[in-house]
Amino acid sequence: MDARAPGISPGRITEEDIARNFSDLHPPFAPHEAAVAADRCYFCYDAPCITACPTAIDIPLFIRQIQAGHSENAAETILDANILGGMCARVCPTEELCEEACVREMAEGKPVEIGRLQRYATDTLMASGKHPFTRAPATGKSVAVVGAGPAGLACAHRLAMHGHDVTLYDAKPQPGGLNEYGIAAYKTPNDFAQEEVDWLLQIGGITLKTEHALGQQITLDALRDSHDAVFLGIGLSGVNALRAEGEDKDGLRDAVDFIADLRQADDLTRLPVGRNVVVIGGGMTAVDAAVQSKLLGAETVTIAYRRDQSRMSASRYEQDLAASKGVRLMFNVQPKAIHGNGAVREIELEYTAQTEAGLTPTGEILRLAADQIFRAIGQRLDGAPNGLTLDGSKIAVDAAGRTSLDGVWAGGDCAAGGNDLTVTAVAEGRDAAESIHVALTA
């Protein structure tokens, strides 16, 4: 994409506007606020919130610990189940997981604010500089973890706790994966993703090697030869095509690349954004790209999704957030063509209908002015190593994360199953580490 394409320009809003627009989406609790919020918990014996959490955090216990004034102990309870509990407190769709299952939600329509309480506890511990976990005696075993995203970080930390030596490889210049490169900046301000990685690495026993991509600087065969086990947490690097006429024009790019550029930018006033932006897709990436385009000063931003609102994978909370920022949400429309003389000027959309034959174009057309278009229509696994069995387009794994190759496990977005959430990736990385530990110490 040519950032100099007509209509795409930096500096649409002031530095002051940027600071306000990209401030913390959910300000942290003060101690008194946390105490009041904790008092609302019923501390259910058979707490449905625990079952709703993919990492099975003991939520009533950590809230009771906050209530008793022991926030650092609460953080240990959280982090023992989810070592990235600080990030998950910020980005988890709690409104569809633990908080939706909360008895207060069912009885009153207002759940206990579990996510914000989790953030309060983990932030308190991280601010103290303490790392509550220690390494077991060295086992002499070595594990390669490929991908320093949520799954890889959770796997590496748990393996290090068990005394194994871990080499953590990542293709990017900085670790963190999706947490560093793929989440809206207003959800994780102040470089929190890197702070959390630095804190996690305090466990010791983990050697980080960035700019080491699988299939380039490292190969699976070589890793299997030089380590006792391998975990793959390589995410999804490919983006699906629009399959619309004219999608090679300047001004059209992948939403994940835009979000990554934004997250790594030192000065957001210099980040180019269109005057009229259209985002194609219906997931979290689409919402993050659309909202941030608006926050950067785009005049009109539209999310165009091919199915009806009930099928949109972004949560209703995220949809409402987008609407509250001035993003227009359109449903049952799909891209048909992109028009412009070398650069994007308009997008042609066709209405769709759900019929017995499936999603069907109706023939009814509309055009929207667009000088910047983002693809957010799903990602795919590119470059899976030879020898791995795939399940659809992802790596096939069993319940413990084992792949079809001896000594190789996988988890996170690259592995079949799951729901492509940070918290699910953490659970899969943690559980794979436990399986690897059993295999290495049998």
Over the stretch 164-175, which tens digit does the pLDDT of each residue have?
A: 999 999 999 999
Average pLDDT over residues 71-96: 97
Rounded Cα gap, residues 304 and 113, in angstroms: 31
Query: Cβ distance 247 to 241 under 8 Å?
Result: yes
Average pLDDT over residues 341-367: 95
Query: Cβ distance 151 to 412 under 8 Å?
Result: yes
pLDDT in tens, 413-427: 999 987 889 999 999
pLDDT range class, residue 11, cuts 50, 70, 90: confident
Examine the pLDDT at 299 and tell me if it is beyond 90: yes
pLDDT range class, residue 21, cuts 50, 70, 90: very high
Q: Taking the mean position of all CA atoms in its chain, how far away is CA 166?
A: 23
Query: Cβ distance 422 to 150 under 8 Å?
Result: yes
When mean pLDDT is compared across 5-14, 346-355, 404-413, the lowest value belongs to 5-14
Burial 50-63, CB ≥16 within 10 A → b, else e: bebbbbebbbbebb
Query: Cβ distance 233 to 376 under 8 Å?
Result: no
Quote the pLDDT of residue 238: 86
Average pLDDT over residues 104-129: 96
CATH class of this structure's domain 239-375: alpha beta
| Dihedral sign (CA 67, 72, 76, 79) | positive
When mean pLDDT is compared across 6-10, 249-253, 391-395, the lowest value belongs to 6-10
Q: Which of 15, 4, 6 is nearest to 276 (CA)?
A: 6
Quote the pLDDT of residue 328: 98
Quote the pLDDT of residue 382: 86
Examine the pLDDT at 1 and tell me if it is beyond 50: no
Examine the pLDDT at 270 and tell me if it is beyond 90: yes
pLDDT in tens, 314-348: 999 999 999 999 999 999 999 999 999 999 999 99
Examine the pLDDT at 297 and tell me if it is beyond 70: yes
Q: Which of 75, 8, 118 is nearest to 340 (CA)?
A: 8
Mean pLDDT (the chain) is 95
Query: Cβ distance 429 to 421 under 8 Å?
Result: no
CATH number of the domain at 31-128, please? Answer: 1.10.1060.10
Examine the pLDDT at 125 and tell me if it is beyond 50: yes
Domain boundaries, the chain: 31-128, 142-237+381-441, 239-375
Average pLDDT over residues 94-110: 95
Query: Cβ distance 24 to 89 under 8 Å?
Result: no
Tell me if 142-237+381-441 shares its fold with 239-375.
yes
Quote the pLDDT of residue 4: 55
Average pLDDT over residues 427-439: 98
Give the residue carrying structure tokens 């630095």. Answer: 198
CATH of 142-237+381-441, one of 2.40.110.10, 2.40.50.140, 3.50.50.60, 1.10.10.10: 3.50.50.60
Rounded Cα gap, residues 359 and 361, in angstroms: 7
pLDDT range class, residue 3, cuts 50, 70, 90: very low
